[in-house]
Structure 1
Amino acid sequence: MNTVNMVKRILGAAGVVRRELIGNTALDDSEAHHFEDLLHALDSAGLWNGVADDERTAIVETLMTSDEPEATWTAGGFWRADGEDLSKGDVEAWLTGMTKALADCGVDLRVSTVFSPGDPASTGYAVAINGVMLNLYDFAPDNLRVPASYDPWTDCSIIPAAEVNRLLVNAESDRRLALVWPGSQDGFSVLGHMEVLQRAAASAAADAGSWGLVVP
């Protein structure tokens, strides 16, 4: 059975399970179908080319049946990127989860929180990635608990991902980090071959309204 047909079979079976789990997830029924569309497109674009069949099966089943779908494989991975959670201080935890996969790509990732939005003395949110400080947002001067930026959910997704991609470029890796539904509560991040992500992005553009993929 070829890769696409095998993954379609897995998605068909696992999709039933996922829809039964909808009550325990952030995805409603239409969003679950869009998630299946996303995995179909990534598979068709070749995201799991070179991954052993049994590992690929386990990855797809995990993504389709888990209420917090995440998976990693050699030089690749799939991680939740909830824009709201990221804006509340989860960027370090999000990127730290990619450390092993990025190491496969030649990137020794080091990330730390410089200013946490949860710190009462903080004036905003900033992280450091391999020594580069990224100011994600400042608090509004008239309300020190409210971000002054227009869209902090998206900023806290796009800005760190773009820095990770800069590191991948410097490492001369052919992998990039893409964002799906960037800035939303249903956001995801995908590490894969640049050409695969470009093909998946083209598929997303052709299927406007279902899901969107960008490479910052």
Structure 2
Amino acid sequence: MKLHFVLVAPARPENVGAAARAIKTMGFDAMRIVASQAHTEEAAGWVAHGAQDVLANAQAFATLPEALADMDLVIATTARQRGRYQHLLTPAQVREHIAEKTVENVAIVFGCEESGLSNEQLAQCDLISYLPLRVTYPSLNLGQAIMLYAWEMSPLLGVATPTAEDRVSSGQVRVLKNKTAELLGELGVSQDEKLYQWVQDRVPMLPQRDLNMLHLLCKDLARRLGLED
């Protein structure tokens, strides 16, 4: 399993340098930057303190969908309850969800320092997580938040990469979200209805065994509806 830390439009190179240091300190090495070149600025290297290789190897993307295109599971981070999302997971709960699923590439997404992730960006992710702080202010900065998530996820470093046989189902969460959306559309359920939103929110939270069962159910329903040969 490979964990990727995705930073969306970070404004301050010092924060990106601190994030790189936190990522490497906890044993990880994969950073992706969206809509920013802050990681290439000199100030980022000053703060990285021995993690300059994480900055040098960071992958840059113009948009969030491009950065997430090859991910099997995507977790968004937020400082507060946002929009329609009701199932907010702590970092520990996120780690548990990752550990029990067959996934090869996982992304944890962090928003820009000032405004975090937009509702549109949250909708591109599978699970929503937050840090349960004792007080709401002062809030954590980007580097601190990434350090806490990296520390919590560090036990996952011992999780083996899926075998060739397992990789068939490694992208199952994202496939099932798309398939259930297609089926609900065929049944006349619009994206604005609570049933549609509930299904899309709950699919990523299912344990692997239930994902496998849902996959078979979706195939049977699609066949009955004439959507598959």
Q: TM-score range by the shorter chain?
A: under 0.3
TM-score, L = length of structure 1: 0.24
TM-score (normalised: structure 2): 0.23
Q: Between Structure 1 and Structure 2, whose CA radius of gyration is higher? A: 2
Greater strand share, structure number: 1
